[in-house]
Amino acid sequence: MWHMQPQIFQHGFVVLFFLLSLPGKGADGQTPGYTLSVQSLVSVTSGLCVEIPCKFTFDTRTLSTNVTGIWHKKMTQDIVAASTDASIVSERTKGRFRLTGKLHEGDCSFSISNVQKGDQGKYEFRFEDGGHKYSYRWNMLYVIVTNLRGPTISPVGKLIAGKQITLTCQSLPASQGCKGNITWEGTINIQTTSNSEIMDRSGKVTSNSVIRFTPSQRDHKSSLTCTVTYSGVSTYSSISLNVEYAPRSPSILNCTSAGCLVEVIDGTSLSLLCSAESHPPANLSWAKKSHNNIIPLNSSSGRLDVSHVTIDNGGDYMCQATNTHGNSTALIRVVIISLKHHTINLNGLMFGGIFILLLAAVALLALLAVKYKKNKRSPPEPVEESKSLSPNNYEVVYFNINRKTSDDEPYMDVSSPNECKIPDEDLQYVTLDISKLKPKRSPEPEDTLYSEVKRN
Ligand SMILES: *[C@@H]1O[C@H](CO)[C@@H](O)[C@H](O)[C@H]1NC(C)=O
Ligand SMILES: *[C@@H]1O[C@H](CO)[C@@H](O)[C@H](O)[C@H]1NC(C)=O
Ligand SMILES: *[C@@H]1O[C@H](CO)[C@@H](O)[C@H](O)[C@H]1NC(C)=O
Ligand SMILES: *[C@@H]1O[C@H](CO)[C@@H](O)[C@H](O)[C@H]1NC(C)=O
Ligand SMILES: *[C@@H]1O[C@H](CO)[C@@H](O)[C@H](O)[C@H]1NC(C)=O
Ligand SMILES: *[C@@H]1O[C@H](CO)[C@@H](O)[C@H](O)[C@H]1NC(C)=O
C-alpha cells in the first residue's frame, strides 16, 4: 500500500513524500511493521525554531516508558537528541534539539530552536527499549536551513504629505515557540499601532504590526525601521520614506532682501529665474499679470528671457510652481527704466553731459554771431513776438530721465507706495536752459547763459 502525501514548501516545489509500508520483508530490507512518518524535507530559518511532527510504528509489541529515542545526524553520526541520556548528545546541538513526543506511544516528534547553518543535513531516528531496538534508515528527514530575512514592510510606495497612511510590517512565519515580536523605530509620529498574529495551517505564526501616521514634508527621506525579535535572534528592515508634497512658495532668484523688484533699461534684455522646492519636482511657469488677466509666457526650467524689453514689459510677473499635489506662486515687479526723447543708455548720462556742453558751445557761438551782426546794424529793430518763439532764437535742452512702467498700470506710479518695496527714488533730472536771446542791447552787459544741472 502506498501513501502519498504532497508537501508544499517555501521554494514552491512539491516534494512527494512516500511512505513505504509493504507487507512482508521488502527487497530493500525494511522490516514489516516498522514505519516512520515524518516530512522528508523541512525548511527552517536560521535563528528561528521548528517543530517537526513524527510518528513511528513497531511490530505488535508495546514499548516501555523507559524507551530511549535517538535522533542522529547521518553525516557525522552525532547524536543530536536523545530522550533519556543527555550526556550522549552532541555539544553542537545540546539544548537546541529536543524530543517532544511520548515515545512509548510512537511519537518521535522533536523541535529545534535557534537553528544554525550547521543543522542542515539528513537525520535518522532509532529507538532502544531494552533488547528491542530499531533504526528507521529508510525514512530520513532532510533539514534545509535558509537565511534569516528581514521583515516585510508594505506598501513601500510614495507617501503624500498631510495624508494619513497605513504601513504594515510582517515577520517571517515562525513556530509558536519562537514567533516574532515587532517594534518600530523612526522619527515619524506614529498615531496608532496594532499588532496581530496569523497562524497558517502548519501552525506557523506570522506577526503583523500595522501603524498609522500622517507624513509631513520633513519626514521625506527619513528612515523607518521595523524590527522583529524572535526568541534569541532579531532582524529588521528599514525603508526611507518618500514623501511627496506640493511646491513650497517659489523663490525668485532676482528678489533681494530689499524686495522683489528688478529694474531693466528699455531696450536691454531681461531674464528672471525662479525655483521651487517640491517633490516630485515642480513644473515652473512664468506669466505676466495685466489688469485681471494672466498672460502665460514662454519660459524654460523656470527661466524667463525677454531679449529686448520695451515699456510694455514693465509690470508684475508671476512664477508658478505646479506638481501633482498642488501649486504655489511668487511675484516680482519689473520696472522699465526709460530714457525719454533721447536714446541714451546709461553710460550715456556722461555722454549726455558732453552733448549738452557741445550744444551750449554751439549756442554761445550762435549768440556771439548774432550779437556781432546786431552791432553792425543800426538802429536795432525790435524783435517781433513771433520771432521770440522761433527755435532759432533760443535753445532748450532738456533731459528727463525717469522711471517708467507701462502706462496702464496705475500702481506703477513711482510715487505711490506699494507692497513691492521700491528703492529710494533717485530720479535724475538734467536741465540745460539757454535763455531766449535778447534782441536789443540789454542794459546788462552780458546775455544770460543759464545752465542748471539739478539732481534730486
Ligand atoms: C524501567 O526502568 C526502571 C528503573 O529505571 C526499571 O525498574 C524497570 O524495570 C524498567 N522497565 C523496563 C521494561 O525495562
Ligand atoms: C514585545 O516587545 C515589547 C517591547 O520590547 C514587549 O513589551 C512585549 O512584551 C514583547 N511581546 C512579546 C510577546 O514578546
Ligand atoms: C535674475 O537672476 C538671474 C540669475 O541670477 C540672472 O541671470 C539675471 O540676470 C537676473 N535678472 C535681472 C533682471 O536682474
Ligand atoms: C513660445 O514657444 C513656442 C515654441 O518654442 C513658439 O512657437 C511660440 O511662438 C512662443 N510664443 C511666444 C509668445 O514667444
Ligand atoms: C509638467 O510638464 C510636463 C511637460 O510639459 C507635463 O507632461 C506634465 O503633465 C506637467 N506636470 C504637471 C504637474 O503639470
Ligand atoms: C492651483 O491650486 C489651486 C488650489 O490650491 C487650484 O484651484 C488651481 O486650479 C491650481 N492651479 C493650477 C494651474 O494647477
DSSP string spanning 78-108? -EEEESS-GGGS-TTTTTTEEE-S-GGGTB-
Cα separation, 148 vs 1, in Å, equals 40
Q: In the chain, what are the domains?
A: 2-146 (2.60.40.10), 152-244 (2.60.40.10), 251-339 (2.60.40.10), 348-452 (no CATH)
Q: Which residues of 198-213 are buried (b: 16+ CB within 10 A; e: fewer)?
A: eeeeeebbbbbbebeb
Query: Which atom of ligand 1 lies at the shortest distance from residue 65's CA?
Result: 1
The per-residue pLDDT for 347 is 59
Cα 354 → chain centroid: 60
The per-residue pLDDT for 400 is 43
Nearest CA to ligand 3 atom 9: 271
Query: How far are the Cα atoms of 362, 379, 380 from residue 376, in angstroms, in the given order?
Result: 21, 9, 9
Which residues form the pocket of ligand 3, taking CB atoms under 6 Å from any ligand atom? 253-254, 262, 264, 270-273
Q: Are 68 and 128 in contact (CB under 8 A)?
A: yes
Q: Show the cell assigned to 342.
A: 533721447
Taking the CA atoms of 339, 343, 348 and 350 in sequence, report the sign of the dihedral they define.
negative
The per-residue pLDDT for 385 is 45
The per-residue pLDDT for 376 is 62
Beta carbons within 8 Å of 341's beta carbon, 6+ residues apart: 398, 399, 400
Q: Is 235 in the pocket of ligand 5 (CB under 6 A)?
A: no
As beta bridge partners, residue 397 has: 432
The per-residue pLDDT for 86 is 74
| Alpha carbons within 13 A on the beta-carbon side of 45 | 23
**For residue 286, how far is its CA from the centre of ligand 3 (angstroms)?**
14
User: Are β-strands 270-275 and 303-306 bridged in parallel, bridged antiparallel, or unpaired?
Assistant: antiparallel
Q: Show the cell assigned to 278.
A: 517640491
The per-residue pLDDT for 379 is 52
**For residue 311, how far is its CA from the centre of ligand 3 (angstroms)?**
19
The answer, yes or no, to whether the previous bond of 151 is cis (omega within 30 of 0) is no
Q: Show the cell assigned to 453.
A: 544741472
**For residue 333, how far is its CA from the centre of ligand 3 (angstroms)?**
13
The per-residue pLDDT for 386 is 44
Q: Which residue has the cell 524590527?
A: 227
Q: Which of 283, 320, 323, 327 to mutate to test the pocket of ligand 6 (most atoms within 8 A of CB)?
A: 327
Query: Which atom of ligand 1 lies at the shortest distance from residue 64's CA?
Result: 13
Q: Are 103 and 63 in contact (CB under 8 A)?
A: yes
The per-residue pLDDT for 60 is 75
Q: Is 191 in the pocket of ligand 5 (CB under 6 A)?
A: no
Query: Which residues of the chain are modeled with pLDDT < 50?
Result: 1-27, 344, 380-454, 456
Cα separation, 263 vs 75, in Å, equals 88
Cα separation, 188 vs 315, in Å, equals 44
Nearest CA to ligand 3 atom 7: 271
The CA-to-CA distance between both ends of the chain, in Å, stands at: 117
The per-residue pLDDT for 202 is 85
Burial class (CB in 10 A: 0-12, 13-18, 19+), 236: middle
Find, among 271, 30, 286, 252, the residue nearest to 139 by Cα. 30
Question: Where is 13: in which H helix or E strand?
Answer: none
Q: Residue 181 in 3-state DSSP?
A: strand
Query: How far are the Cα atoms of 356, 373, 394 from residue 359, in angstroms, in the given order?
Result: 5, 21, 11
Query: How far are the Cα atoms of 216, 238, 277, 284, 442 from residue 281, in angstroms, in the given order?
Result: 17, 25, 7, 9, 78
The per-residue pLDDT for 262 is 95
Cα separation, 143 vs 132, in Å, equals 28
